[in-house]
Structure 1
Amino acid sequence: MDSRYALPPELAAALDRARLQIEALAQTADELQIVLPDAVGSALRDGLREEAAPISRRLAEVKGLVNQTIRRLERLEGDMLAERHARVDDLSVLVDLISGQWQSMNERLDRIERSLEPRGQLVKLPRANDAS
């Protein structure tokens, strides 16, 4: 350095220490640039492996439960459809019975009405006022 810019010895020593530390920091940064990508990559792989395995097991369990629920719902749907068809068949039988009873009732009433109809000729009887 130039004599005009002579630094006090404490400051010069501090600058030398700072230069040495900066060089050490640069060397450490160079080493980290080489080692760090591999270390981070393997740490990520290990972390993902540890975390993803339980998640995939849980996901498979949820998928199994969903499939089981779907099968149960399909079975319930089939049962409900069969029950509905059975109720429609029951209703059809009931309608047939009621209409048959009404038809039988109409036939019976027709027979009663025919039996009450006069069978002979109607003869008019003279009234007491007509004879005089």
Structure 2
Amino acid sequence: MDDQALERARKRVAESRETRFETTRMEAALVRARAQIDALTAAADELQSQLPDQVGLAVEEGLRRQVVPVARTLAEIKGLVNQANRRLERLEQEVLAERAARIDDLSVLVDLVASGWRGVDERLRRIEQHGAEAETGGVVPLPPGARSADAATHSAYAQAG
């Protein structure tokens, strides 16, 4: 056998070893990649099954943390509104009582004015009756101690001047 043929044979063997080594490395890398893809798929499946529950629990906890202070604030507001309603009702009762008292006062004033006008009407009637008698010649004397309006005005001007 000739040396060149032997050398070519050795090269082919070396090349096939290198190729086989590369192929083996490639196959090993593919096996590892498949194993990692399977692990990733398993993790994704696990997350997919657990994630909605965990998100739900996280949302519930967050809402609970936010709702408790809001509920407390709403309770305080409700208490203040109820207190304001009670105060408004009390004010309304006081206003109604005050209104009733003013109506009673007005009624008393109307009665006083009406009785005063009845007195004036009675006096005018008597004056008219006396006036009718005066036309027939009767003189109506002033009561003792009474001064006429002109005399009172004249003496007031005299004192001021």
TM over 0.5: yes
Counterpart code for 2:107: S
2:98 to 83, 87, 92: 83
Pairing 1:64–2:79 present: yes
After TM superposition, the score normalised by the length of structure 1 is 0.70
2:38 to 20, 23, 27: 23
CA RMSD of aligned residues (A): 3.0
Higher relative contact order (Cα pairs below 8 Å, separated by 6+ residues): 2
Q: 1:68: Cα distance to partner?
A: 0.5
Q: Deviations over 1:15-50 (max 9, x none)?
A: 777655543331111111232233223212221221
In the aligned structure 1, how far is the partner of 2:97 from the partner of 2:130? 50
Q: Structure 1 pair 51/107, CA: closer, same or farther in 2 (3 Å)?
A: same
The aligned counterpart of 1:94 is 109
The aligned counterpart of 1:116 is 131
Higher helix share: 2
Counterpart code for 1:53: V
What percent of counterpart residues are identical? Answer: 58
Q: 1:13: Cα distance to partner?
A: 8.8
SS in 1 for 2:133: coil
2:118 to 75, 91, 103: 103
Q: Which runs of 5+ in 1 are unaligned?
A: 1-10, 123-132
Higher alpha-carbon Rg: 2
Deviating above 2 A after TM superposition, structure 1's stretches of 4 or more consecutive aligned residues are 11-25, 116-119
1:51 to 47, 66, 79: 66
After TM superposition, the score normalised by the length of structure 2 is 0.59
